[in-house]
Amino acid sequence: MRLGLVIDLDTCVGCHACAVACKQWNTSGTTGPLTDYRPYGADPSGVWFNRIRHYEVGEYPNSKTINFPMSCMHCEDADCVTVCPTGASYKRKEDGVVLIDQTKCMGCNYCSWACPYGARELDRESGTMKKCTLCIDRIYDETLAEIDRQPACVITCPAHARFFGDFDDQNSEVSRLVRERDGMQLMPELGYNPTNRYLPPRINTPIPTEDVRRDSLAGKVKEWVNKAVAR
């Protein structure tokens, strides 16, 4: 089994609901509290598993905003695991999820430097590294209804842009989406073979706008009437 996420960049609206739901669920999860720094100060910050970047692509008037959620990719060949000097970072054989044993982590930052996706954060209060766990304490909780055994970010997404499942199962929804929509890995050239995939934005036909600014006959009449009324 190889668990991971598929994120549809065509429907993600960048609302940050996934990041907030992740923070809420995991703040008392398996890795301990996700610390907030100066939460009521002028420059609040904190530890987050999931962050959303925003990019503008294309040329005006056919430009488009791409919202790009990023978290741990749960790589097949994870350098963050290889470089860890204490064995705190490990990859589960049974489902491919990469986790951090908080009792072994000494916060040396090696894993953070090895991760090209910026998925790991040092919690300055606990002195340990934190990262996405795929809500490991939720997806295996048999006291929850089966439909709720998914990462909090997936359940919360109002645009239904996130999907969770087993990539080794060719009949799973995540496998089908990747197959049908040419799901992509992020920076595959690095050789880490990330499990999470992104569905690229669909290519839209530009809407002609050349004639939008031209004055129509009705517009000229309307303008003349407005001037006449103003007098």
Q: Please write the tens of the pLDDT for every residue from 60-92.
A: 878 889 999 999 999 999 999 999 999 999 999
Note the residue count of the chain: 231
pLDDT recorded at residue 231 = 66
pLDDT recorded at residue 58 = 85
How far is residue 127's CA from residue 152's CA, in Å, rounded to a whole number? 25
pLDDT recorded at residue 122 = 95
- Write the single-letter amino acid at 41: G
Peptide bond before residue 61 is cis, with ω within 30 degrees of 0 = yes
Contact 35, 16 (CB under 8 A): no
Contact 199, 7 (CB under 8 A): yes
pLDDT recorded at residue 99 = 97
pLDDT recorded at residue 31 = 85
Long-range contacts, stretch 62-69, CB < 8 angstroms, 24+ apart: 62/206, 64/201, 64/204, 65/14, 66/9, 66/201, 67/9, 67/12, 67/13, 67/14, 68/9, 68/12, 68/198, 69/7, 69/12, 69/18, 69/19, 69/153, 69/162
pLDDT recorded at residue 220 = 80
Distances in Å between the Cα of 224 and the Cα atoms of 146, 211, 212, 216, 227 are: 66, 21, 19, 12, 5
Which residues lie below 8 Å from residue 145, measured CB to CB, with a gap of 6+?
Answer: none
Residues in the chain predicted with pLDDT less than 70, given as ranges, are 210-214, 231
For residue range 179-204, list pLDDT tens digits in order. 999 999 999 999 999 999 999 988 77
Q: What is the pTM of this model?
A: 0.85
pLDDT recorded at residue 212 = 67
- The full set of domains in the chain, from first to last, is 3-230 (3.30.70.20)
